[in-house]
Amino acid sequence: MTIDLEALYIDLHRHPELSFQETRTAGIAAQHLRDLGLEVEEEVGVTGVVGVLRNGEGPVVWARADMDALPVEELSGLPYASTATGVDPAGNTVPIMHACGHDMHVTAMIGAVERLVAERAEWSGTLVVLIQPAEEYGAGSRAMLDAGLLDRYPKPDVVLGQHVTPLPAGVIGVRPGPQMAAADGITVTMHGRGGHGSRPHTTIDPVVMAAATVMRLQTIASRELDPREVGVVTVGSIHAGTKSNIIPAVAKLELSLRYPDDAARAKVLASVERIVRAEAVASGAEREPEFHTEHTLPPTINDAAATARVVAALRRTLGEGAVVDPGMFTGSEDVSWFARDSGAPLVFWFFGGVDPAVYAAAEAAGTVASTIPTNHSAYFAPVPHPTIEVGVTAMATAVREFLG
């Protein structure tokens, strides 16, 4: 019986789940994989699912799809829009939606596996399907690896993954080398000396210290990196104080740092630490600032040879003009840990999810950036067709390229 992929997608979209809470999604994916004849194990890395399809001698391909959603209230207006809520790690009740398209990733993966099972007489080797939790935390792939993924399942000869993005549906974006940036999330705590707002001379004001630091940090990208390099230094959160007439003792900054490779990462991290420490000294701080890394994601670097094979296969299947070089994305992914830990080459690509006519009209009007919702937007809503079909075809084609 053919799986109704549109119904699957709509169901997953209506029922999003936060990172490491994807029990319903994991159960649905696992059941579909079992029904297709795969050996399936659940709860690999908290909520992760692994499916293995052994089909004779040949290479081993790991194909990965992520499944977690985001604490965003959906405003798409779709008849199947999410109204779900959940509890975040801090204990807050939050709205949830698939604002990054991971529901589409799971749907396309199930469809690709269905096609590969139907075509199994035409290829040989082993397919390992990874339905990964907690990509949005940058922690799901690491959790699956730490659960013994490489010891418990066939080791990969190549790792494949894909991500829906605001390109026209039908278009694939992929390039060799750096495809997505490395990233670090860092919390900086700056220490001052608190006191009464009317007597600032008796204090060391961490609010002023933090404000000066925020401004100086912006010079890393604008004055320390080569203009031809990619580098992002964002202070996404600043917290200090409780009342207008109290100078607090502490200020906290939450930083998002992004870079194309390990060398750039080392340079940016050194600059951040130098500036933070220098601004603390300039303010007369009596205690050193503290740095805490919340997460680290490696750059997503596509293997040149493996990527060339996938690009050629996709062009043969989808048409020469369907595959483009989208440039490097400054967003980040944790899929690289699978390739890095296993030593296998990685190929990770993007597939469009925007109605081609809508995208063309926005492009003609010069309004793509302002009118086409991007990942993590409350309005992000890939069109089911032909997005599903292209996602299925892209993944199945890439797998077949390595399995014959």
Annotated binding site for Mn(2+): which residue ranges?
Answer: 100, 102, 136, 163
Of 242, 245, 253, nearest to 209 by C-alpha is 253
Rounded to the nearest angstrom, the gap between the alpha carbon of residue 222 and the centroid of all alpha carbons in its chain is: 26
Of 152, 74, 148, 146, nearest to 378 by C-alpha is 74
Q: Are 298 and 184 in contact (CB under 8 A)?
A: no
- 3-class secondary-structure state, position 389: helix
Left if phi > 0, otherwise alpha if psi is -120 to 50, otherwise beta: which for 37?
Answer: left
Give the burial class of 92: count Cβ atoms within 10 A of its Cβ; 0-12 exposed, 13-18 middle, 19 or more buried. Answer: exposed
- 186-204: buried (b, 16+ CB within 10 Å) or exposed (e) per residue? bebbbbbbbbeeeeeeebb
Element of type H or E holding 318: helix 304-318
How crowded is residue 303: how many other Cβ atoms within 10 Å of its Cβ? 19
- 3-class secondary-structure state, position 107: helix
CA distance 17 to 14: 10
Would you give the DSSP letter of residue 293? E
Show the CA angle centred on residue 175, arms to residues 165 and 363, nearest 5°. Answer: 45
Of 372, 381, 353, nearest to 72 by C-alpha is 381
Rg (CA), the chain: 23
Q: Are 72 and 96 in contact (CB under 8 A)?
A: yes
- 3-class secondary-structure state, position 350: strand
How crowded is residue 366: how many other Cβ atoms within 10 Å of its Cβ? 9
Give the residue ranges of the annotated binding site: 100, 102, 136, 163
CA distance 123 to 118: 11
CA distance 52 to 69: 25
